[in-house]
Amino acid sequence: MTAVSNLEKAINSGQFVATGELGPPKGADLTEFKENAEGMRNHVVACNITDNQTAIVRTSSIACGATLIQMGIEPIIQITVRDRNRICIQSDVLGAYALGIRNILCIAGDHQKFGNETGSKGVYDIDSIQLLKGLKDMRDEKKFMGGDEVEGDIDYFLGAVENPFADPFEYRVTRLEKKVRAGAKFIQTQCIFDLDRFERFMELVRERGLHKKIAILGGVTPIKSLGAAKYMKNNVSGITIPDALIDRMKGAEDKKAEGLTIAVETIQRLKEIEGVAGVHIMAIAWEEKVPEIVERAGIYPPPKL
């Protein structure tokens, strides 16, 4: 099987991979989005574009992905099952492929309750595992979810997310295995702050040999301030921040510098964990720091392909 994207090639090469997150704007002016992409171009293998993250209306991930392709930067587009039914998702995936997009991340998406259109109808026609399986079958079996035939070739690299900090803890690994069977080849995890718990998660992953079947990219987010850390701890579903980390931020004179150092140290520790294939850096509203984090963590330059 030949790799369809640089991300796939990099993962297959076995070298430690870094990807970066880009959030589209709440408007159609992509200037800043492009600047952010430009800023991390040489430091990451691919940029992952969110799909109306936290259910807030933004420019579509596919449109932003196509923009990156014009710039010569490789996108990973997120697709949630929150806003589209299976007709629309399959149609969008064909469109994304036609535009040159090759990496697709299948996710459920945050509930619409958290966004800026709280009265909207959550679609949830299919779930994220059904989405993975459906896209896998479109590619491998040339069949749409309804059984009709897909015309011509279509090929992409499929990923999913997993949250090692959600519950029930042990079942997360079972569900990861289910995602592997559904067709995921890479996994982005939720932001890792509780490394001890993440290590326990990876132990269970290794026990089942899952790290050999799927590339696990650990999610890393630099904390910008003490307030941001506390906010995430208390308000963001699925994120765990240990008290020790909050205390460390509290004690730091330069909070921003400390936040960056914590991110760098996290990556360095992740590199040592068997079965972690790379990191996904989510420097939300702090994208310009991605190069610094990558360099300081000692994962620059990206794998030569």
Partner 1 sequence: MIIAERKPLEEIAAMVAPYKRVLVLGCNSCVAVCMAGGQKEAEETAALLRIHRKKENIDGVVDVFSIERQCEFEMIDEVLDELKKYDAILSLACGVGVQVLIERDPSLRVFPGLNTTSMGYPAEQGEWVERCVGCGNCVLHKTMGICPITRCAKSILNGPCGGSADGKCELGKDVDCAWHLIIERLTEYGRLSDLDEIEPPKDWSTSHHGGARTTVREDVKIDRG
The reply on whether position 163 binds partner 1 by CB under 8 A is yes
Of 149, 167, 196, 274, which lies in the binding site for partner 1, with binding defined by CB under 8 A? 167
Of 119, 147, 168, 301, which lies in the binding site for partner 1, with binding defined by CB under 8 A? 168
> Which of the stretches 63-71, 95-103, 175-183, 295-303 binds partner 1 when contact is defined by CB under 8 A?
175-183
Binders of partner 1 among 205-244, rule CB under 8 A?
Answer: 237-238
The reply on whether position 182 binds partner 1 by CB under 8 A is yes
- Asked whether 200 and 26 are in contact (CB, 8 A), the reply is no
Closest C-alpha to 37, from 51, 23, 26: 23
The reply on whether position 166 binds partner 1 by CB under 8 A is yes
Please classify residue 2 by burial: count the beta carbons closer than 10 Å to its beta carbon, then call 0-12 exposed, 13-18 middle and 19+ buried.
exposed
- Asked whether 191 and 282 are in contact (CB, 8 A), the reply is yes
The reply on whether position 130 binds partner 1 by CB under 8 A is yes
Decide whether 145 or 273 has the Cβ nearer to partner 1.
145
- To partner 1, the closest distance from the beta carbon of 46 in angstroms equals 21
- To partner 1, the closest distance from the beta carbon of 221 in angstroms equals 15
Residue 245, SS3 per DSSP: helix
In the structure encoding, which two tokens stand for residue 201, read together? 């998660």
The reply on whether position 269 binds partner 1 by CB under 8 A is no
Residues binding partner 1: what is the number (CB under 8 A)? 34
From CA 176, how far away is CA 180, in angstroms rounded? 6
292 contact partners, CB below 8 Å, separation of at least 6: 260
Beta-bridge mates of residue 280: 19, 219
Element (H, E) at 276: strand 276-281
- Asked whether 208 and 176 are in contact (CB, 8 A), the reply is no
- To partner 1, the closest distance from the beta carbon of 174 in angstroms equals 7
Decide whether 59 or 163 has the Cβ nearer to partner 1.
163
Residues that bind partner 1 (CB under 8 A): 81-82, 86, 108, 110-111, 113, 122, 124-130, 133-134, 145, 161-163, 165-168, 171, 174-175, 178, 181-182, 190, 237-238
